[in-house]
């Protein structure tokens, strides 16, 4: 079973929101009460984080799109 690299996807989506890898790590640590950033999360939690960043990135694009 091939699993996509969730960490890369999360960072890529977060960068669209102006987050760098260090900021993502701090955010994950704070939100999930961990200390190792994305590496500390389960696949399930990573999918949740990715979904959240994707939704925020889409919302940001929708706001900046010309009407």
Quote the tokens at residue 51.
């979904």
Which range has the top average pLDDT, 4-8, 41-45, 59-63?
Answer: 41-45
- Per-residue pLDDT reduced to its tens digit, 14-47: 999 999 999 999 999 999 999 999 999 999 999 9
Do residues 28 and 34 make contact, with C-beta atoms less than 8 angstroms apart? yes
Q: Which two tokens stand for residue 16?
A: 């669209």
Burial class from Cβ neighbours inside 10 Å (0-12, 13-18, 19+) for residue 47 reads middle
Q: How many CA atoms lie within 13 A of 23 on its CB side?
A: 11
Q: What pTM, to 2 d.p., does this model score?
A: 0.83
Phi, psi for 22 (deg, rounded to 5) = -65, -40
Average pLDDT over residues 9-15: 94
pLDDT at 67: 64
């Amino acid at each position: 079973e091939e699993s996509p690299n969730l960490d890369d996807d999360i960072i890529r989506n977060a960068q669209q929101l102006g987050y760098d890898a260090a900021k993502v790590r701090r955010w994950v640590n704070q939100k999930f009460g961990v200390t190792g950033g994305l590496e500390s999360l389960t696949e399930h939690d990573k999918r949740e984080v990715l979904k959240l960043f994707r939704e925020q990135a889409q919302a940001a694009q929708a706001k900046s799109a010309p009407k």
